[in-house]
Structure 1
Amino acid sequence: MNPKTLVVLLIAPLLTVMTATKAAAQAYPRQPIRIVVPYAAGGMTDVVARVIGLRLGERLGQPVVVENRPGAATIVGAEQVAGASADGYTLLAATNTTLTINPWLYPKLPYDPARSFAPIALVATAPSVIVVNPAVPARTMDELVQLSRAKPGSLSYASYGNGSTAHLAGEMLKARAGIDMLHVPYKGSAPAKAAVMANEVSMTFEPAFTGLPQIAAGKLRALAVMNAKRSAVMPDVPTTAELGFGGIEMSAWVGLVAPAATPPAVVERLASEIERIVAEPAVQQTLLRSGAEPVGYYREAFGAYIREETARYGKVITAAHIRAD
């Protein structure tokens, strides 16, 4: 067989696939897009999904519908998207719980966080804020640490359940500061925060998104933001890094992912559109007003971030022997 003929025969299938993929991307989208939110309506993930979804629909010329599928620490919604058609019409508003914490808590997930999804964009984060009841005699991180060391076990912290970001944040602080605190798990963020405001529990680790109103009203006292840099939504609150407690960063974050086999050209189209949306001043202001900070990680950069976060949380969960409820 002529060598040239052999080359043509070998590359023809590849060219066919490339042509079909490009055509699919050019035709996309032809129908409404669904964003599955694995939480109830009203939370940070839901708000971010709706802000981005509205503009994405306007830019793509197709409706973007947000569907809330809460349950089982985001597993219900994640499983649904992992098993959906990989055509770009079903996306998941994923969080660090979904992709980086659950793998360490649930050894038999019905989806593979590392292989079931194609990263599109990390949209927003909300750093955790160390907050105490105003009756706690500590106005700074140093005073909080000194209080805990003077009376080991006298301080308690509320979380949203075993393995939640608040639980991990508490374990990070305990290890970094060398202090002892009692962990009190609640069934959700709202009851945990309410327990701190009622002074049933000394403190918690509240995302800026949900803690801003109570901090502004004086119902909670903010001591530090668990981040390397100050939060854009509460710039007057120092960071743990500034105060000598570096390495204990904790943020709630929201990103969009698609089923793993979604055509790369479709993922690229979605990522490019979302990148433009997140850069819009009006969108940034809307997110900031709600306590969420816009982020610019897309495709491979988002994938790398997920891997880094997975390894980081794994160390905390393993060292603290944390198990799911």
Structure 2
Amino acid sequence: MSKPVNDLVATKRRLLQAAALSPAVLALPSMAQAAYPAKPVKLMIPFPAGGATDYAARAIGTALAEKWKQPVVFENRAGAGSTIGTEAGVKSAPDGYTLVMGIPAGITIAPHIYPKLGYNPITDLVPIAGFATSPLVVVVPVDSPYKTMKDLVAAARAEPGKLSYASNGAGSLPHLTAEWFFSEAKLKVTHVPYKGSAQALPDLVAGRTTMMFDIIVSALPLVEGGRLRVLAVTGAQPTTRLPGVATVASGGYPGFAADQWYGLFAPVGTPPAIVRKIEEDVKSVTEATLMRGQMWQRGAEIQYAPAKDLATMVKKDSDRWAVIAKSTGARAE
């Protein structure tokens, strides 16, 4: 057989081998995705048990665990306005087996109020997916003399510094939202920070603090239990979960709107195939009627955001809180 013929036969053989192998080669990324997770996944929650962040994290984590047929282990690492737990997640191995529960406090607020933050949320974390939002509520004890926001503002204006407000931590969304409101209304109110809503709410119910801007998810059980009174919600629109309760903006503060968002993040360097797998699975579980109902019962709304949209939202939210932090002078205590 001549050399040209031999070369032609060899070339044909290589092409056939490549064609035979290509499906397996192309399947490698999907095989890697299908294998994940092969062991329990840790979800870092940067607030104590019992609050809004903890509730939302356990809701999404439980749903994912059922889908994956692998446990999701919840680790509550509270402190410093959620930055301790967020930083612990950032410094975890980027293998997809430690995820971070992301909220405004640790992702979009912290960089603007902590002079020395141990991580950069933009460069050290990879957005995976957003899955829910919820407004804040302005609450007072049920036996408080204040029935409306106007009552509250009038009292605070009459005696600057006498009224106090609880927060679930210095640097948290409720803290910054309250400072923003007091700046807009030109009020002086004393801040009493706690490590989380679960710690702050009992003191509020007992009347040891005057008021609180809190995530609706945390406060709602006490509202429905007749122990707290809601004066307003901070969303751009009223919430169907509390019919008849007006927004802060409608009381003479146009443009005032703040919502808590919830998302999953991973340490930078986490394999893209795993990030995409989790992103797709979050979308799948948030479409379930059961989870939507569970979140609505606590005042939250399922709002799925793929990684790209979550990244855009983080940038926009960070820019907004940078302006508010500067205008109010709010700093982590």
TM-score (norm 2): 0.82
Identical-pair percentage:
38
Question: 1:228·1:246 contact (CA, 8 Å) conserved in 2?
Answer: no
Closer, same or farther in 2 for the Cα pair 1:75/1:170, shift >3 Å?
A: closer
User: For each residue in 1:207-256, what CA deviation from the matched residue of structure 2 results, as whole angstroms up to 9, or x when unmatched?
Assistant: 11121122223322211100101224323311123333233323333211
Unmatched 5+ residue regions in structure 1?
A: 1-16
Give 2:171's aligned residue. 163
Offset of residue 275 of structure 1? 1.1
Unmatched 5+ residue regions in structure 2?
A: 1-24
User: For each residue in 1:175-230, what CA deviation from the matched residue of structure 2 results, as whole angstroms up to 9, or x when unmatched?
Assistant: 22233333333454344333332333321112111211222233222111001012
Q: Name the aligned partner's letter for residue 113 of structure 1.
A: P
Aligned pair partner of 2:56 in 38, 48, 52: 48
**Is 186-195 or 128-137 further displaced after alignment?**
186-195
Q: Name the aligned partner's letter for residue 292 of structure 2.
A: Q
Give the structure with the higher percent helix. 2
User: For each residue in 1:41-77, what CA deviation from the matched residue of structure 2 results, as whole angstroms up to 9, or x when unmatched?
Assistant: 3332222222222221232333332233334433333
Does residue 266 of the first structure (1) align with residue 303 of the second (2)? no
Give 1:9's aligned residue. none
Closer, same or farther in 2 for the Cα pair 1:150/1:76, shift >3 Å?
A: closer
Q: Name the aligned partner's letter for residue 53 of structure 1.
A: G
Give 2:14's aligned residue. none
Q: For 1:63 and 1:133, how far apart are their aligned partners in 2?
A: 39
Offset of residue 315 of structure 1? 1.8
Give 2:138's aligned residue. 130
Question: 2:48·2:198 contact (CA, 8 Å) conserved in 1?
Answer: no
Offset of residue 26 of structure 1? 4.3
Give 1:278's aligned residue. 286
Does residue 304 of the first structure (1) align with residue 304 of the second (2)? no
Does residue 176 of the first structure (1) align with residue 193 of the second (2)? no
Closer, same or farther in 2 for the Cα pair 1:55/1:26, shift >3 Å?
A: same
Q: For 2:26 and 2:320, how far apart are their aligned partners in 1?
A: 37
Q: Name the aligned partner's letter for residue 285 of structure 1.
A: G
Offset of residue 264 of structure 1? 2.5
Q: For 1:25 and 1:269, how far apart are their aligned partners in 2?
A: 6
Give 1:90's aligned residue. 98
**Is 25-34 or 305-314 further displaced after alignment?**
25-34
User: For each residue in 1:130-161, what CA deviation from the matched residue of structure 2 results, as whole angstroms up to 9, or x when unmatched?
Assistant: 11234544322233333434444443322234
Closer, same or farther in 2 for the Cα pair 1:68/1:18, shift >3 Å?
A: farther
TM-score (norm 1): 0.84
Closer, same or farther in 2 for the Cα pair 1:51/1:202, shift >3 Å?
A: closer
Does residue 219 of the first structure (1) align with residue 219 of the second (2)? no
> Aligned runs of 1:74-113 on 2, under 5 Å?
74-113=82-121
Q: Name the aligned partner's letter for residue 222 of structure 1.
A: V
Q: Name the aligned partner's letter for residue 146 of structure 1.
A: A
Q: For 1:66 and 1:186, how far apart are their aligned partners in 2?
A: 21
Q: For 2:199 and 2:29, how far apart are their aligned partners in 1?
A: 48
Max radius of gyration: which structure? 2
Give 1:8's aligned residue. none
> Aligned runs of 1:284-295 on 2, under 5 Å?
284-295=292-303
